[in-house]
Structure 1
């Protein structure tokens, strides 16, 4: 997921499959996890029986009809208070990430999935994409022209990925024939799946500008940050200069 070359639609599919697998795991796999835990305990010569603790009673407020009945089974309590809570937290996080990426992917999916769409759907999705790429009354692409370009596009390579699509247009010298598609694909290729690159940049910034370097100028800070982030390129350049 943190690869710089991963495509947005591929990331959405991976998140959807991961979410479905975890939902299935929550419903059926507590018993399997319990069996594996017992096998590990037996291999380590550890007692496999959970100790029963004294059940604590909670004070019932006046608005409650009756007090909650405590769960006496230790394994059932572990499943409801620990296992299900952890898995539900993971599912909730994936749903949030999947919702955000899914909305973005829905707006750009016409660029790669137009072969499975009708002409009317292509026009509608192209207009949605045009509205998405509009700022201050100016749009990067024309929705109607993009729909016409997609409908008149020649045969595509068998592997339809964003970078492969861009390479195909560049090698066939079709960038001027399909200008709106060329712009939309380049924008799609720059959509980040995660923010790991930005997080790494901020981590580098903390290492560069410490309290001992609080008076560092902006230009100097930018140059040190570029060198630190692209350390492999910097080392290669220094090696070539010494040869």
Structure 2
């Protein structure tokens, strides 16, 4: 799924989630009807009888009705609509949170605008940049300084503009440039702000992958495996692409030489 891509950032995730939310709103009835028709067709193919379910309700004084009178199709539609309502609520909540992150860190994500030449920047752009930097620094008071953060952005612009051999288009490349340029005293607030932005979790995909791997690793054949070995096996399984590049012959030779003992004949 696109939203579970490990390279997804919060700005793109907010747009994707908003588009998915609008799709469910516009095609709600069609989704329910198509799903229900496909399910009933499968039931017919496998000779499964869809039993009518009578939903009973508590009779109030003066009422004679004994049940609500929903058919099986109407009952299934009611459950599907309730599920879609819950799904829409969850998507809206997550979309709101991602939009809030975009309001805080969106200006750091657009590196080209962040490092824009001062001479080609309008007064409104400069004012907006200062407001954005103050908003982030106020939210992370213990990590960022209000005015030093904005001054560091301007200084970083001048530094990048003077380096014609440097091409920076992503936040990752910007923080690599800052780290390679000097120690932690060089643009400390800008460095911390970018680190905060890049380490924000926008989904639970990584946790889901870990639990999925555990179901494959912790089989009945490994029922007695210890915690340390289980963690090591999970790490090898999750980082499978890196493990496939390793030459195990060299590792075995190093292990054998470290554990070898001289045997007197």
Normalised by the length of structure 2, the TM-score is 0.60
Change (3 A) 1:122 1:73: same
Structure 1 stretches lacking a partner, 5+ long:
none
Secondary structure at 1:91's aligned position in 2?
helix
- Per-residue CA distance 1:54-111 (angstroms, 9 max, x = gap): 865523245x9996984667766654x1342232122122123223333333321231
How far residue 53 of structure 1 moved from its aligned partner, in angstroms, is: 4.8
Which sits farther off after the overlay, 202-211 or 180-189? 202-211
Aligned to 2:258: none
Let me know the Cα RMSD of the aligned residues: 4.8
Change (3 A) 1:147 1:66: farther
How far residue 10 of structure 1 moved from its aligned partner, in angstroms, is: 0.6
Aligned to 2:235: 226
2:164 aligned with 1:163, yes or no?
no
Structure 2 stretches lacking a partner, 5+ long:
115-121, 253-265
Picking from 18, 25, 43, the partner of 1:23 is: 25
2:224 aligned with 1:212, yes or no?
yes
Picking from 133, 139, 148, the partner of 1:126 is: 133
Aligned to 2:148: 145
Distance in structure 2 (CA, Å) of the matches to 1:10 and 1:53: 45
Which sits farther off after the overlay, 170-179 or 146-155? 170-179
- Per-residue CA distance 1:137-171 (angstroms, 9 max, x = gap): x41x323222234456369999965336556x569
Change (3 A) 1:54 1:94: closer
- Per-residue CA distance 1:16-35 (angstroms, 9 max, x = gap): 11111211112x5369738x
Change (3 A) 1:171 1:55: closer
Count of residue pairs brought into register by the alignment: 228
Change (3 A) 1:195 1:66: same
Aligned to 1:88: 85
Change (3 A) 1:108 1:240: farther
Aligned to 2:58: 59
Distance in structure 1 (CA, Å) of the matches to 2:249 and 2:52: 68
Aligned to 1:11: 13
Distance in structure 1 (CA, Å) of the matches to 2:168 and 2:149: 21
Secondary structure at 1:29's aligned position in 2?
helix
Matches within 5 A, 1:29-44: 29=30, 33=34, 37=37
Distance in structure 1 (CA, Å) of the matches to 2:73 and 2:195: 53
Kindly indicate whether the alpha-carbon contact (under 8 Å) linking 2:178 and 2:187 is maintained by their aligned counterparts in 1: no
Distance in structure 2 (CA, Å) of the matches to 1:60 and 1:118: 65
